[in-house]
Each structure stands twice: as C-alpha cells, then as structure tokens.
Amino acid sequence: MSDIATILTECQAMLSGHFLLSSGKHSSQYFQCARLLQYPDKAAQVIAGVAERIKADQAAGKFAADAVIGPAMGGIVVSYELGRQLGLPAFFTERNEDGIMTLRRGFEVTPGERIIIAEDVVTTGKSTLETAEQIQAMGGVIVASICVVDRRPADAADPFPWPLYAALRQPAVLWDASGCELCKEGRTPAVKPGSRKVF
C-alpha cells in the first residue's frame, strides 16, 4: 500500500461498503477526504507530493499559475492547502440556489488569470468541469487541476484538456444503479455520504 493510501486508511478516509455517488453511480469504495482534511499535518503531507510536482513542471516552463480555486465543499481545504504550499491565493466556487457552480463572496477571476482547480476526489470530473466552465466564462485560463484521489475507472477517458495531478490514483469499480452488482447480491441499500445532490 502506498504512503498516501496508508494515511487515508489511518484517517478512516478510505471506506468500503455500498455507496451512491454524486454521479448517480454505485460503488463498493468511497473516499471521505474530510476525514483526512481534519488533520492539517496529514493533509499537508498528502498534498505536498502534488505541490512538488507542480513546482517542478512550473520550473521546467510547462505552465504558470496565478491562483487556486476549489469547488465546494470538497475542494475548499484542498485549494487553500495547495495555495499555501505554492504561495498562491486560493478561493472557491459554490453552488447557487439553482445548483450552478459559481464564484460568490466577492471572489473574482480577471481575464487571462491562470488557474489551478483543486478537488478532493475526481470520479467523473463533474465538479471540476463545472468550475472550469465558470472560470472560463470570466476569461480565466485553466492550466491544471489536482485532487487527493483520482478514482476514475481504469478504462475511463481523460475528462480534462489540461494536466491532472493526483496524490493517489485508485481506480474505482462503478455500476449504473440498474446494473449494480451489490444491489443484485442483496447488500444493504447504497448510502450517500457526500454533500452534493444526485442529479
């Protein structure tokens, strides 16, 4: 087991069971990164590897960044910790009353501003892509995104046209609700531990 997986296990952030994900899909594994992020020292350790890779790529001239933005809820602490380690301002998007990811609280993106999007977990990339859409509508440029856990299935296409840096790559086994193997086995009903509504 990797050092990152060990830390997540110690924090009880890596869960096994029968879960309903925000995408509507079912899975036997769930990452509750809030349990990691409650320990600032452990969160800093996990995100440090990502920050170092970004610093190396910036030094190599691959891209530059001006700020870090994380989609609420999961990306808030991740974005602030990454911003701290990179020496960049960090803020977040959140859903408005219509469920649309947007900048509020006076946060702004200026045209041409280069942004890293920071998430806790990427499964389908939905929150990251929604955040990117809003940033780009304001003239911002997405240069990279990061996550604590990249749990896209092993055969999944890359959802982003920019580089994704993950502290841990842990492909998930996912099922559509109608074809869930755990449901067929008569397991307990799928639980939804996340914060986002299923659409």
| Residue 72 · residue 91 · CB < 8 Å | no
- pLDDT value at 22 more than 80: no
What are the pLDDT digits (tens) for 143-171?
Answer: 999 999 998 888 888 889 999 999 999 88
| Residue 67 · residue 146 · CB < 8 Å | no
Q: What is the pTM of this model?
A: 0.86
Backbone angles phi, psi at 73, to 5 degrees: -90, -40
- Taking each helix axis from N to C end, the angle separating 3-10 and 40-59, rounded to the nearest 10 degrees, works out to 150
Q: What is the DSSP string of 127-142?
A: HHHHHHHHHHHTT-EE
What are the pLDDT digits (tens) for 66-84?
Answer: 999 999 988 999 999 999 9
Bridge partners (DSSP) of residue 5 are none
Query: Which domains are assigned to the chain?
Result: 3-184 (3.40.50.2020)
